[in-house]
Structure 1
């Protein structure tokens, strides 16, 4: 049975390019990440944001000798753990984290064998002797452990100001003959914490200089950019959308699986091509969902694939979306309405259109719908949350519909659209074969379907994140996006809650049967990544 590495965190730096399937769009995004213009990369969970950041990093390291552009990958996944008494904790943590990761990356490359004096600005203190723990590393650790005792005092003494940081980077680049630092921010902001969004994008803009090029991967739903950051002027925005209409869509999704498939799975895919195609088209371009669903149907038989399609797209994907309401109670109305809107309105209307066109002898089908640009703001927010969990995909804005009205075009997940059909495999096959972006269901500014949500405008509240975090830490590890085997290992080892799993050490996993140093590292990475992603929404 194939042992898929579903998360980018499971892949080592020197392996990342071996897993890379280069589509034209992905190549374009990677080139943008390596360029000097700041980029904000937006995509739902599992679409490959982290992977493309890591690909850009690997390629920049390969060309470093010639180009002297040095990449620094920085994950902000642990931002949800920062709960100290410092009113500027997020800014201080970001600067300390960034400084620490720059020094770590330079050290790993062998460029800080004899650290220049200026390195002490980023280190927050002395850099000698080699191998010592820098002051900023201690600060980062203190902030990231503050969740254990919310409100704990954390001293930010040693964290550089933004100006000192920029000056320090400039002098460090001059001393090491580096043309510029290419900062690759991953998990940049928590979508349910607008104040973090504002602080991050303010820092993103303030860091811009000839020596610093910032890029950030974010989820759909980021709406608070702060008082100084202007999206149209301060960065280029790129969205990860692998369109079902692309000529190479199926082959690129197949290549993603082939990179990790064993001989038996390869044989089964070749034997049941249509069944694999149904799984590939059902994920609507999401590589993580593809690997997860293929792993659930290794034999690729029609019965097995149909069972996966029905169970996953009727239940599992919706459970993840609805689960957000349990964590962020203030958004419950938006989350619940969004699900009802898709299940009770968009999907039935889309099916009806496809059936009508088939009855009229037209060789056209759709999975697209259109929302007027003047639709109520709560509707747009609900759609952003649906895009966050991957149930819908935002395709393009400024699209003219009937009577020249302007709006945004979305696509509903093909798996969700077909999962309720008695025979989902031929349903998906027919939809994709006849798919056209020119056909879509339209929802005007005052569509009747919006009526149930309009009256709740202004009632949403930002939750107390300290209380939310403590509640989340007590939940069972069953809610995590890891394999059943990993969940069972955690349970047997006594790490049955999210809080306990977060505190687990790598050697703890080696107490499980058949888990050695290599698998324990991979399992540790998968568990911690899943925990942090869950805590971030």
Structure 2
């Protein structure tokens, strides 16, 4: 059986539309990314943020050829920000500017628009001679920052990096010289999730780059993004959440179409024969295509036994392992992370299970929602935000009135986690999912007794002090989200740690049995994507 493509990084940009299953919500996001107003898309890992950025890029590029559009897209990822380890106090700002310049030059060169090098392009390249592209001095600086974890004492000369104002002026001149109406930046992995200082710097730059010929768009994670004081999400950008509504009538069909883009004929046959079991997996994924593909890969026959085992394995073990792993990387958040898990596993899920059993026996609508009072302690809200990052919860609506006219926020509890409370999820999960209503919520007031354990602890939530790259590089590759085959091949080559993998070349990867040029490149891309995803949170 072939491997599913779990990550957008595994798909060639030119092939992205082959895997695109459009929904109304997706179209709203894509059109917003293509429009003039800056847009921030918010979603937990695996919901498709990177994919939609790439779709927007592809559609804009096609528009340059097939229509009179003069909007030029530039996709770039800031996923390597966790590797910056220099003594430069402004390393993140300098690296971001260098990254933007490098990505712009690269995209324009690839599109064949730099046959004659405009003066403004030389500013972006950091040199008066751009005839030797690549690499330009700016690209060299970018690479030096990204390799600084290897040589932390190395001093990087950042004088060639333009200031924000110089960058804006260069882009404005470049747009005029090349006949481009507007540059659209599609920035993935906007900033390291537990480094608030980096996040604030990013959104300051995001705001400062606004111009008649520049639009910045970014993909961020829910709950853990710090916008800073100078950036106002409601005023400085359009913020859109990527949520596939499990209550919509076409939800299961949309998820099935996503699977059809990749699944083999035998799996499609099993889906047709076991539609109810597939629906249970689709509902369990709670709108997350990556999770659906992973659980489907674990249950290709889609019989009840496989489905039950896949749900128990992923939502009892793997999703919580990812959540708890955050505590190892960010010790300042450990008490919050541990309390959040205990809160959901020991209090929220059993309570929802108890209520749903009664609702179903009385032929009433079911629930997977909780509500938190707006005056609940900030530390509790922070814990729930981290749960939203890992996909255990999804923040849905704030300012919502509940019992006694109290105001608070409603959260959606991952259905897969809820299904683990069932003896036979394949049998009873479908009734819970199809009976859901947002009108039923389990409420947690401002001073709920469940909050007491974490309130009694001294908690440092300054993630900057918590993250230690050196410690993470020593971790085994077993912590990475790779296939069994990929891990076995890395083991063959004695690649044991994350650092071993980061320093490996394609040439070394080709020394494994049955790994040629193409597969070595694919394996390197998948492995590195997994490394950077792990390091970023």
TM-score normalised by L of structure 2:
0.97
What is the rounded CA distance, in whole Å, between the counterparts of 1:431 and 1:398 in structure 2? 26
Pick closer, same or farther for the CA change 1:209–1:512 going to 2, 3 Å: same
Aligned partners of 1:399 and 1:173: how far apart in 2?
46
User: Which residue, out of 226, 232, 235, partners 2:234?
Assistant: 232
Cα distance in 2 for partners of 1:473, 1:305 equals 35
Shift of 1:458: 5.5
SS at match of 1:205: helix
Distance 1:506 1:288 in 2: 26
Partner Cα separation in structure 2 for residue 188 and residue 382 of structure 1:
21
- Structure-to-structure mapping, 1:154-169, within 5 angstroms: 154-169=156-171
CA deviation map 1:373-408 (0-9, x unaligned):
111111111111111111111112121111221111
**Offset from partner CA, 1:251-293 (integer Å, 9 cap, x none):** 1110111000111111111111111111111110111111111
Residue matched to 2:444: 443
Find the aligned partners of 1:420 and 1:434 in 2 and give their Cα distance. Answer: 17
CA contact (8 A) 2:349 2:421 kept: no
Aligned match for 2:154, one of 152, 174, 178: 152
CA contact (8 A) 1:2 1:295 kept: no
Cα distance in 1, alignment partners of residues 340 and 274 from structure 2: 35
Q: State whether residues 422 and 429 of structure 2, in contact with CA within 8 Å, keep that contact through their aligned partners in structure 1.
A: no
What's the CA shift string for 1:427-484, capped at 9, x where partnerless? Answer: 211101211111111111111111222233654343546x711011111100001111
Map of 1:331 onto structure 2: 333
Q: How far apart are the structure 1 equivalents of 2:325 and 2:377? A: 24
2:369–2:413 CA contact under 8 A, matched in 1: yes
- How far 1:223 sits from its partner (Å)? 4.2
Q: Matched residue pairs, number?
A: 535
**484-493 or 223-232: which moved more?**
223-232
1:411 maps onto 2:408 in alignment: no
The equivalent residue for 1:485 is 485
State the partner residue of 2:432. 431
Contact 2:333 2:460 in 1 (8 A): no
SS of aligned partner of 1:481:
coil
Query: How much has 1:128 moved relative to structure 2?
Result: 2.9
Unaligned runs of 5+ in 1: none
Secondary structure of 2:15 counterpart: helix
1:517 is aligned to 2:494: no
What is the correspondence of 1:110-149 to structure 2 with a 5 Å cutoff?
110-149=112-151
For the 8 Å contact 1:191–1:221, the answer to whether it is kept is no
Q: Does 1:390 align with 2:395?
A: no
**Partners of 2:122 and 2:492 in 1: how far apart?**
45
How much has 1:418 moved relative to structure 2? 1.1
Deviations 1:399-430 (A, max 9, x none): 11112211111111111111132101122111
1:337-373 residue CA offsets vs partner (Å, 9 max, x unmatched): 00011011111111111122233x2331011111111
Kept in 1, the 8 Å contact 2:196–2:464? The answer is: no
Deviations 1:154-185 (A, max 9, x none): 11010000000000000000000000100001
CA contact (8 A) 1:375 1:444 kept: yes
Q: Aligned partners of 1:307, 1:458: CA distance in 2, in Å?
A: 37
Q: Which residue of 2 aligns with 1:377?
A: 378
List runs of 5+ in structure 2 lacking aligned partners: none
- Partner Cα separation in structure 2 for residue 387 and residue 286 of structure 1: 13
Query: Aligned with 1:491: secondary structure?
Result: helix
Partner of 2:321: 319
Moved over 3 A (4+): 455-465
**Structure 1 Cα separation of the partners of residues 369 and 98 of structure 2:** 44
Please tell me whether the aligned partners of residues 330 and 463 of structure 1 are also in contact (alpha carbons under 8 angstroms). no
Determine if contact 1:184/1:214 at 8 Å carries over to the other structure.
yes
Aligned counterparts of 2:252 and 2:295: Cα–Cα separation in 1: 15
Q: Cα offset for 1:197?
A: 0.7
Is the 2:369–2:412 Cα contact (8 Å) retained in structure 1? yes
Q: Following the alignment from structure 1 to structure 2, what is the Cα–Cα distance between the partners of residues 152 and 375?
A: 46
TM-score for both structures, normalised by structure 1: 0.97
Residue 146 of structure 1 aligns to a residue in which SS? coil
| Alignment partner, residue 468 of structure 2 | 468
Structure 2: distance between partners of 1:382 and 1:177: 49
Residue number in structure 1 paired with 2:295: 293
Q: Is the 8 A contact 2:77 2:187 kept in 1?
A: yes
| Contact residue 71 and residue 184 of structure 1 kept, 8 A | yes
Residues 26 and 132 of structure 1: CA distance in aligned 2, closer, same or farther (over 3 Å) = closer
Distance in 2 between residues matched to 1:2 and 1:433, nearest whole Å? 32
